[in-house]
Amino acid sequence: MSIQPLQIDNIAFAKRGEHLTGDLSLAHCPRLAELLASQLPILQNDAIGTHALTSVNKTENSIHFTLDGEANAVGQHFLHLALASNLTTYCQRCLEPMPVKLSLSFHYQIIDVNAKHSELDVVEDSDDFDMQEANQAMDLVALIEDEIIMATPIAPTHAHDCAVASMQSGEKPNPFAVLKGLIKP
């Protein structure tokens, strides 16, 4: 299945102060789907891929995005991207499914790389905005997927201590643990 990229002219989008909102599924983000599938527990005699991940909960595994363009009086152009995602991955301690909810906000200043070096020096000193190169065909889906991938935990774990419920392979219970309770201070 081929997904058409959502392309915008980022300078024109910002100049007109446009607003765009939508939802993306994992089908639109194959690299993210692959990352989440790689966090699945390894089960013997099962071929696991993104199909198994998407069958966990079809209402989850979506990314809601809002993109706003802005141009100021000085002629600078900005994009404001807000992302909210409900993804399902697996806890790396207990190997049980767990939701990963992300709420992210990004602010980009669009720059022309062909501009004079003095203009670029002023832009680089700002920590308020990330820079995006002026592009007449900026792939918005790729940008959203990149930001979600960078914000997704590498080894997600439950907030509560779920390691007690599962023993590590080869780990044996301590036979003297019962005696510890008999000692009175």
Q: Kindly provide the residue ranges of all beta strands, DSSP E only, lying in the chain, ordered along the sequence.
A: 7-8, 19-25, 62-71, 77-90, 97-111, 130-133, 138-139
- 147 with 83: CB under 8 angstroms? yes
Residue carrying the six token digits 């680089």: 124
Domain-wise residue ranges, the chain:
7-159
Q: H helices of 87-173, where?
A: 117-124, 140-151
pLDDT of residue 130: 87
pLDDT at 27 over 80: yes
What is the tens place of the pLDDT at every residue in 39-88? 666 543 344 444 444 444 444 678 999 999 999 988 899 999 999 998 88
Q: What is the pLDDT of residues 144-175, one digit of tens each?
A: 999 999 998 888 888 877 755 545 556 677 77
Report d(CA 6, CA 2) in Å as an integer: 13
Which pLDDT belongs to residue 62? 84
pLDDT of 9 reads 92
Whether the predicted model's global pTM rises above the 0.75 cut: no
